[in-house]
Structure 1
Amino acid sequence: MDKALIFFLVYCLLWPGVFLAPDPLPVAMHTSMPEAFEGIRSTEEAFSVFDPQHELEHPVQLCRDADGAPRLYYADVQTPVCIDGICKPVRIAIYWNLLGAYIGYGLYEGDPLTKYDHDLFEEADYQKLHQLLLNKNAVFRRKKLSDLFDPNAEPEKQVTYKGEEVDAVSGATKKAIRDAVVEGALYSCYTIWQLVHGTADDSIKVALPNLWDEAMQQRFLYSDRADYQFYALKQLRDSDYATYSTRLLQLFTGSSPLFRTKMLKQLPDRYWAEELWQEKLYGSFGQLDVNSRTLLITGLEKAGEGSALRLLPHYHLMTQNQLKAYLSFWEDRKLPADVANQLTEASHNRNYPYAYLIERFLEVQKTP
């Protein structure tokens, strides 16, 4: 063999960042996170999920892109799904993101999903399965196989599974469950859901800290997924707030109340005192949830009088306790003339139920 060719093959195998492309992953038929599938170049076995229903283990692969960055996990699941032997075994690719959340599934060529008596899944069935798998609190949670069937129904066919007589036909499916699953594929739905929401979640979360680096921090923070954003927020070091200030302040107004609460509670003191942060945080007061407003008011001791002035035009949005906390900020300070004038005007607002608190505060301030 030509020496140059040998050198090239060794280079491709050993040089970091160069991968031999794996067999293509099945295209996700339905996914809640299409960006995770972009540029997958390599896979490596990470752990296995155990299916107690059939006493099978399914290896789970970590997928990386061309730069070696982790993108998602997937499992090639091959399992029997019919306890009476009528339906053929299922083969399906299950995908999880890097936090262990289910994000989609794919099918292998020549292996469509089937219902009772070999009826093929239709597009609406595939979509319904995806919606079921997205719900980690679905009707299957903490239920046994025997809980899924109505014992008073007239089944078309009785079968025995582990010593129990149950019905594999959808007609005996309990009414509370029937609308949530694919008709004629109850056992398939049950088996796949149990695998999706079994042990993979915990195993993926345990692995994440060992994969974490600056590149992943940035990818998570700039993701459109709230769970990625929140996880990245929890990993921030004090110096990261300067690096990601633009993105964090963008998320502060556009993200969830949970994100805002976490961000304000862990925001280092130095940023409360910075003009950029004060302007964005306190300038958005009128757009925020009640809890975030409370945290901003209690943070005035760190943010100072400039931020307190920004809140004054929004006094009418404050709850009784928020107003008390806001006024207490001014108690030991000499009221600037413009603050005293605005508070006086607010105390005359009869449409504001707590105007009397402002009036009392001003009376105490006048007392020598």
Structure 2
Amino acid sequence: MRKQGWLFFGWALLVYFGFPESARAAVAPPEKVREYTITENDTTSYVLKLAFDESGNPSYYFRNVFTPVCLTGECKPVYINFYWDLLGNYLRFDFPPREVLTKMDHEEFKPEDYEKLQDILSNSNSLLKDVAMEDLIGKGTENLADSVDAKAGATLKTIKNVVIDGAVYTCYTLWHLAHGSVVDEMLKITETYRTDALLHQFLNSTNHHYQYWAMERVIDQSGTVAASFSADLMQIMRAKNVFTARHALQKVNSQFFSSAERQTWLWETYTKASYPLQIAILKKLATVPFRAPLAQQTAQFLLKANPEQFKLMLNLLAAQPRLPEKAVQTLANHLTDSNADYTAEIYRVLTALKPRSPLVQHKMRIYKEAISKS
């Protein structure tokens, strides 16, 4: 009874004074949004927000923007929300309730204007990148409408296709907000959340920016991959994005494909890959000593290859310090093929290999006699 009384008393104290911070943290729901105050040029400050998913993992950034869009004599306020991925790549925009964008003549944006604005903001290499606000003001047009049809000089004519007629300054201001110094701030913040779990998430993402960022962090300068990330990289090499697949393939060192199992896997990948990736795989294999299965598979595939692939494959076989006997026999079997260009090159390689097999030597003599009679 006394023990139960003490337990009750202890519980009452917890309720009255509150749980210890560690206990509260253990039962607290996942954080949904975290705010960061960003200061630019030691004068301008704004709040950047990081949103988290239901599991408490960082998901994306957003900012509630208020900015004056200053024209040549007046400023109009713009309220808009911007969204970026975790590496600062612009995603989309939306608006607070009852807020819209207008042009210089106070005409509201039409649906097609918003679509074009999304295209403009999505282009991180826009011509707006190298344009200064002053360049948008043509001599003698200081009091004219915000229109690319005004006689505002060469700059406006150059950027006509990357802005919205009647909203040049709005497009300019919003693009620089979406792609300005805020991007560096987001990169710094995301780096503080880097964990193995986040790296796995990025490597398996459909966002190629995430994949490149993560690959730079799981593959060291020598091309060595931490064992726990090997499966992620192999998945990238087999994915549909040939650019990330080729990047992963080129970044890893030859040791990554040193085992017979990995070489068999790579050959299977080759047979299913697009042509550009097939060529990349063959070039990668130039740094990889062949195990017997890969040597045999390469030798067998020779006659099915086009001239570019054939040349790369045969050079790979010829460069091996010691080509397995089975692969040498497969090469000799190809000497009876009807493709004279291929058989001539195979015979040249076999001659350099100086095979000891009587059967291979016999097939080489038959080929040489046939060539001398033709």
The verdict on a shared fold, with TM-score over 0.5 as the criterion, is yes
1:209 maps to 191
Opposite residue 339 of structure 1, the aligned amino acid is T
1:15 aligns with one of 25, 28, 38: 25
> Separation in 1 of the partners of 2:52 and 2:109?
31
Q: Secondary structure at the match of 2:76?
A: coil
Q: CA 1:345–1:229 in 2, change beyond 3 Å: closer, same or farther?
A: farther
1:68 aligns with one of 42, 49, 56: 56
Alignment pair present for 1:250 and 2:235: yes
- With the length of structure 1 as denominator, give the TM-score of the two structures: 0.75
1:309 aligns with one of 280, 296, 313: 296
Q: Secondary structure at the match of 2:200?
A: helix
Structure 2: gaps of 5 or more residues: 1-11, 357-374
2:244 aligns with one of 259, 267, 286: 259
1:329 aligns with one of 319, 337, 340: 319
Q: CA 1:367–1:72 in 2, change beyond 3 Å: closer, same or farther?
A: closer
1:81 aligns with one of 69, 78, 85: 69
The aligned length equals 330
**RCO greater where, 1 or 2, for CA within 8 Å and sep 6 or more?**
1
Asked whether the equivalents of residues 335 and 343 of structure 2 are also in contact (C-alpha less than 8 Å), the reply is no
1:171 aligns with one of 136, 140, 149: 149
Opposite residue 99 of structure 1, the aligned amino acid is L
Deviation at 1:212, TM superposition (A): 0.5
Q: CA 1:271–1:170 in 2, change beyond 3 Å: closer, same or farther?
A: closer
- With the length of structure 2 as denominator, give the TM-score of the two structures: 0.74
Q: CA 1:64–1:95 in 2, change beyond 3 Å: closer, same or farther?
A: same
Deviation at 1:135, TM superposition (A): 0.6
Q: Secondary structure at the match of 1:104?
A: strand
1:42 maps to 33
Which of 72-81 and 171-180 deviates more? 171-180
Asked whether the equivalents of residues 62 and 84 of structure 2 are also in contact (C-alpha less than 8 Å), the reply is yes
1:36 maps to none
Larger-gyration structure (1/2): 2
Q: Secondary structure at the match of 1:59?
A: strand
> Separation in 2 of the partners of 1:3 and 1:147?
68
Deviation at 1:111, TM superposition (A): 1.8
1:29 maps to none
1:339 maps to 330
Alignment pair present for 1:182 and 2:139: no
Q: CA 1:267–1:20 in 2, change beyond 3 Å: closer, same or farther?
A: closer
> Separation in 2 of the partners of 1:328 and 1:149?
66
Alignment pair present for 1:278 and 2:263: yes
1:137 maps to 125
> Separation in 1 of the partners of 2:244 and 2:205?
14
Opposite residue 158 of structure 2, the aligned amino acid is A
1:232 maps to 214
> Separation in 2 of the partners of 1:78 and 1:111?
11
Alignment pair present for 1:115 and 2:103: yes
Alignment pair present for 1:293 and 2:281: yes
Q: Secondary structure at the match of 2:293?
A: helix
Deviation at 1:137, TM superposition (A): 0.9
> Separation in 2 of the partners of 1:345 and 1:85?
84
Give the structure with the larger helix fraction: 2
Deviation at 1:339, TM superposition (A): 2.3
1:58 maps to 46
2:339 maps to 349
- Deviation string 1:221-260 (CA, Å, 9 cap, x unpaired) is 2211111122223322667545652x43332122444423
1:105 maps to 93
Asked whether the equivalents of residues 17 and 67 of structure 1 are also in contact (C-alpha less than 8 Å), the reply is no
* RMSD of aligned alpha carbons: 3.6
- Deviation string 1:71-128 (CA, Å, 9 cap, x unpaired) is 1222222111132455621111112211121111121112211111221112211111
> Separation in 2 of the partners of 1:308 and 1:70?
46
Asked whether the equivalents of residues 70 and 76 of structure 2 are also in contact (C-alpha less than 8 Å), the reply is yes
Structure 1: gaps of 5 or more residues: 22-40, 160-165
> Separation in 1 of the partners of 2:187 and 2:291?
40
